[in-house]
Amino acid sequence: MSESNESKENGAKSNQDPLIKQSTDDEAPADLELLRDSTSPVSPTRDRIAIFIDGANLFYAAVHLQIEIDYTKLLSQLVDGRRLLRPYFYTGVDRHNDKQQGFILWLRRHGYRVITKELIHMPDGSKKANVSVEMAVDMLSLANYCDTLILLSGDGDLSYVVNAITYRGVKVELVSLRSMTNDNLINLADRFIDLADIRDAISKGNNPNNTARN
């Protein structure tokens, strides 16, 4: 190669945008932030995981268990030393509920990607927001970059997407309260964890520094 051609090639390389990076089979998308709890032991398997939390399901499970969830401890418990790409939290929102808005802000500042949906007023006076479609789409997208997906929900509507993901060879861990979980969903998951069994590990203690509220 001549000196002039070599200088042109080097110049072309230097002009490439440093932010442009082609992904490989071992890399997650550039916009996925790698999160790891510094207090968790590093797993020798280095499994890549993503977490999907149905906020309403977790809220009612916490009410049933008579606990207040510590979302930092919850994340640490679920990650268990593995490589976390991102935790997703799905919830219906009331824009006029300042307390809820503060809680969502806290989650975002502590590493959670929060997906919200406007609450719909039902004929019986209750409010509801179905986030199963959003959860299913994100789970299918992230399955390409994970060894294991952790689903915190008991909604049977997610059975189809869980089945599709396991057929790809990606493991699904299901975390929910047994009495609030669809049987088919449990049967499809590779592992089921009852929230009642980890109740003490994810509940808040008498720590005044904990500010998040569910």
**CA 137 – CA 120 distance, rounded (Å):** 21
Q: List Cα–Cα distances, 66 to 37, 45, 167, in angstroms.
A: 26, 35, 37
pLDDT of residue 59: 93
Tokens representing 179 are 């009495």
Q: pLDDT tens for residues 163-208?
A: 999 999 999 999 999 999 999 999 999 999 999 999 999 999 744 3
Residue 65 within any structural domain of the chain:
yes
Residue 92 within any structural domain of the chain:
yes
pLDDT > 90? residue 155 = yes
> What is the biggest distance separating any 2 CA atoms in the chain, rounded to whole angstroms?
80
pTM for the structure as a whole = 0.74
Residue 83 within any structural domain of the chain:
yes
Residue 60 within any structural domain of the chain:
yes
Residue 116 within any structural domain of the chain:
yes
Q: pLDDT tens for residues 15-72?
A: 433 333 333 334 444 334 444 443 344 444 579 999 999 999 999 999 999 999 999 9
Dihedral angle at the C-alpha atoms of 23, 144, 37, 191, nearest 10 degrees? -160
> Which has more pLDDT, 99 or 185?
185
Say how many domains are in the chain.
1
Residue 4 within any structural domain of the chain:
no
Residue 147 within any structural domain of the chain:
yes
**CA 157 – CA 88 distance, rounded (Å):** 18
Of all residues in the chain, the percent with pLDDT exceeding 70 is 72
Q: Which range of residues forms the domain containing residue 111?
A: 34-202
Distance of CA 199 to the CA centre of its chain: 19
Please name the residue that has the structure tokens 């993503």.
50
What's the CATH number where 171 sits?
A: 3.40.50.1010
Residue 17 within any structural domain of the chain:
no
Q: Among 5-19, 98-112, 190-204, which is the least confidently predicted range?
A: 5-19
pLDDT of residue 14: 41
